Structure 1
């Protein structure tokens, strides 16, 4: 009986340790200013554009995806990722994500199925991060992974993902739906949804992540 009780107590302690370690990994590492954070931009390789049959898929892959990412650099005051995640020294590297986006398959981009908006799962995100080249860096990576872009619903689904660069372990991933506003081009139209996601991170999500 004593041996059984000891084993039970050991198991409880082990489970408690795992949950504590997870909380420390997410809460303490993300907010720890001594750990560098690298923002890798927006990954569109798993993206499906819904309800826009006239869109030029080839142009979107070869030009528009890079154009949206460029806005994060050229108009960083408007798309203030650093401020949203409370990092004045946020480092940005779009090299790897641009290379990936250029290799996306245009034939798989367009869809007429509304359910494709929610097609990605956490396991899909984990697989993507395992195959993501983040360079020879130490610290935490931050990547926006777009799943669905719905023209009828005027919305974009973005998995905001924090991961350990060296181990490629996902620390936290959270799907945020960004509402799309006015825009006079494909790039600017969908960039308003990204801006909305960034605003949600700044106003609510970041503090929510820290409390997990």
Structure 2
């Protein structure tokens, strides 16, 4: 019996150690990256004149903005910004699409300034039900879509998928732009990706390669 218990404990401890990922693992190529999409559950929509159809945002655009990540990888993939090989990267947005059904758009349209904290980001992540358990997930926890400032602000958040622990999060802004409502705000996501490609990857790789 003691031998059996010891064997189980070794399995549990060994499994936890091997399953955990760090940011250093991502930048050294030891962990794959999974782009989980956009979390709108804490977002506010600033500039009432720019958000006149909350039902369409909730039921149509949130789904579309997430699906673009998989449907238009040339524009929205994070594989190139993170310098990853094909077997080191994937996108899977279905969990965020489900999560966003609980978002409330109508009550979050405002003309007031708004921001969220790192703790609020972590509380949001704690509620996730994720189908991917291997590697590191990256999710954009959207803080605001501001029509007045013409920008989308999100917390780029890295998660150890085996534990749901937030490894790192940073607020990043992307200038909105494009023809039509969907493409205008998708432009903000595209610009955040560009910011990672042009500046943040280099900064993060220095920060986490130790």
- The equivalent position to 1:48 in structure 2, one of 41, 44, 69, is 44
**Runs of 4+ in structure 1 displaced over 3 angstroms?**
none
Q: How does 1:50-65 map to 2 (within 5 A)?
A: 50-53=46-49, 54-65=51-62
**Superposed CA offset, 1:55-97 (max 9, x none):** 2111101110111112111211022321112223311111110
In structure 1, stretches of 5+ residues that fail to align are 1-23
Q: How does 1:124-143 map to 2 (within 5 A)?
A: 124-143=120-139
Classify the secondary structure of the residue corresponding to 2:58.
helix
**d(CA) in 2 for partners of 1:203, 1:33:** 19
Q: How does 1:157-168 map to 2 (within 5 A)?
A: 157-168=153-164
CA deviation after TM superposition for structure 1 residue 210, in Å: 1.5
2:98 pairs with 1:99: yes
CA deviation after TM superposition for structure 1 residue 43, in Å: 0.9
**d(CA) in 1 for partners of 2:168, 2:131:** 20
**d(CA) in 1 for partners of 2:132, 2:27:** 22
Q: Which moved more, 1:37-46 or 1:99-108?
A: 99-108
Q: Could you say which residue in structure 2 is the equivalent of 1:16?
A: none
Contact persistence 2:175–2:188 (CA under 8 A): yes
- The equivalent position to 1:71 in structure 2, one of 68, 71, 78, is 68
**d(CA) in 2 for partners of 1:38, 1:186:** 27
- The equivalent position to 1:155 in structure 2, one of 134, 151, 158, is 151
Residues 180, 106 of structure 1: alpha-carbon distance in 2 compared, 3 angstrom cutoff: closer
TM-score normalised according to structure 2 size = 0.82
Contact persistence 2:26–2:32 (CA under 8 A): no
In structure 2, stretches of 5+ residues that fail to align are 1-20
Q: Could you say which residue in structure 1 is the equivalent of 2:6?
A: none
CA deviation after TM superposition for structure 1 residue 136, in Å: 4.9
Contact persistence 1:57–1:109 (CA under 8 A): no
Q: Could you say which residue in structure 1 is the equivalent of 2:188?
A: 193
2:81 pairs with 1:81: no
2:209 pairs with 1:210: no
State the aligned residue count. Answer: 184
